[in-house]
A and B are shown apart, each in its own frame.
Chain A
Amino acid sequence: MLQVEGLTIAAADTQLVQNLSLELAEGQITCLIGPSGCGKSSVVKWLAGVLPPTLTAQGRARLDGSAVTPPHPSIAYQPQQDTLFPWLTIAENAALGLEIAGVHRRDAQARIAPLLPAFGLDGTAQLFPDQLSGGMRQRAAFLRTIVQDSRFVLLDEPFSALDAVTRLKMQDWLCQQLARTPRGVLMVTHDLYEATQLADRVLVMGGNPGRILADLPIPSPRDTRTEASLAPMRVSLRSLLLEKTP
């Protein structure tokens, strides 16, 4: 269980997030949804230990009840862009987190190689990011995140840069991957459809200053969800966002 308690994030003269608390359960996907500028990304960045120095934060993170200071090896982070380094091959990019954690380069590569087919990256180990499509790059970035064996994964709008079709494919693919290697996921998104399709739980954030407006579990299993069954939830989420945010 990863908990955030009483998180307040402030810029020089404004409070971006006020006294926010949330819990992430192991193996569950939690989507954080809200309007632009409500502080969603700042919350995730704080948990990843990469809050910009222009912002100050107060609050605690607890992992299984013990206080932890981000960045933490149990929490992996994937920003909006895939941030694959253009001068590294896909295999080298994917092994980056392992190498930083102290795994020898050869051992890291050995761990990456058998995972490539499952990530749809067969035969790309020695290719460079610019030789891959947007979807493949995103999968390579996921591989880099997943292979770190962190219990929790923070995804900051991971599909926002993809075209609509690739995005749908990647959403299905992510669900399959997480079913195979379960992680506690906190995913920031703007997209109501994405949130209701993927999440076990949707946290709705409001802005000025950022706070949790609602915590909505989606109990039905993902493979049984249909457009019709999700429609009422989307309607209530939509009205919540429209009513409670300026």
Chain B
Amino acid sequence: MSFLKRSFPTVLIALALLSAWEVYCARAAVSPLVLPAPHDVLRGLWLNRADIGSHALATLTVTATGFSLSVLVAFATSVALYFLPWLRRGAMPLLVASQTVPIVALAPLMVLWFGFGLLPKVLLVILVTFFPMLVSLLSGYARLPLAYRDQLVSMGAGQWSVFRRATLPVARSAFFAGLRISATYAVVAAIFAEYSGARRGLGIYILSAKNNFRADLVLAAVVVSACLTLLLLALLHGVDRATGRRFRRDNDATG
């Protein structure tokens, strides 16, 4: 019930926008080749559901593989940077610089270097999604109250024990915030990688639909990509809710 109550304004705004779009298309008599009405997009999606579905599955595979690996790489890197301050000082500027490389330039190069298989797409998803997670983790680690650390150290805990028992639990909410930001980029990154060269996937589907002047199918693929992102976010939300009840207690023992 509370979910329905919370979602009501979103649904209302979305319906209003779609209605305005539908009315505009009907009144202004715009060609469906330029701007298809929402019902055209839905019809295109329904008629081509099998084709779009198989392309979406390819995108989902790239996204899931890339995102999962990205989580592992970001976590491993964050631990290394946390325990080795000299590495953090040395690597952070380079990591920040790596984020300024335009994905438009990088995606075709990845295809050139690694071919049309899974690898270049997965690498691109990692590259795009890794950094927000890394930054979130590091800022989460920095939130460890000194009193928690002191308490554990006075009990004889070593660096790793402090990290495991206090730093990681404290950083949990920041980590999930980073995951959610990265998840919104993941599907887009996969689609962009496919756009630059692939055999299957929503990216290549959008490219071929655009070349065939099928704006309705381009938008149908966009609808599916949005659904994939929402699915990923819902999955993360579910994992967070299922595993983190004790971590959402708002009390702070440090006063």
Contacts and interface: CB of A to CB of B under 8 A. Distances in A.
A87 B247 contact: yes
Interface residues of A, number: 30
Interface of A: 45, 48-50, 52, 71, 73, 75-77, 79-88, 96-97, 100-101, 128-130, 137, 148, 161
B102 interface: no
A135 to B, nearest CB: 14
A7 to B, nearest CB: 17
Main secondary structure of the interface of B (DSSP, over half): helix
Given A76-B154, A77-B151, 20 more contacts: A45-B150, A48-B154, A49-B153, A71-B156, A77-B150, A80-B147, A82-B253, A83-B253, A84-B253, A85-B148, A86-B249, A96-B152, A97-B155, A100-B155, A100-B157, A100-B161, A101-B155, A128-B246, A128-B249, A137-B253
- Shortest 8 CB-CB distances between A and B: which pairs? A130-B251, A77-B154, A50-B150, A48-B154, A83-B151, A97-B155, A84-B253, A86-B251
A20 B166 CA distance: 33
Main secondary structure of the interface of A (DSSP, over half): loop
Given A79-B147, A79-B150, A96-B165, A130 B250 contact: yes
B254 A81 contact: yes
B169 interface: yes
22 contacts: A45-B150, A48-B154, A50-B154, A71-B153, A71-B155, A76-B154, A79-B147, A79-B151, A81-B253, A81-B254, A83-B147, A85-B165, A85-B169, A87-B247, A100-B156, A100-B157, A100-B165, A101-B155, A129-B251, A129-B253, A130-B249, A130-B250
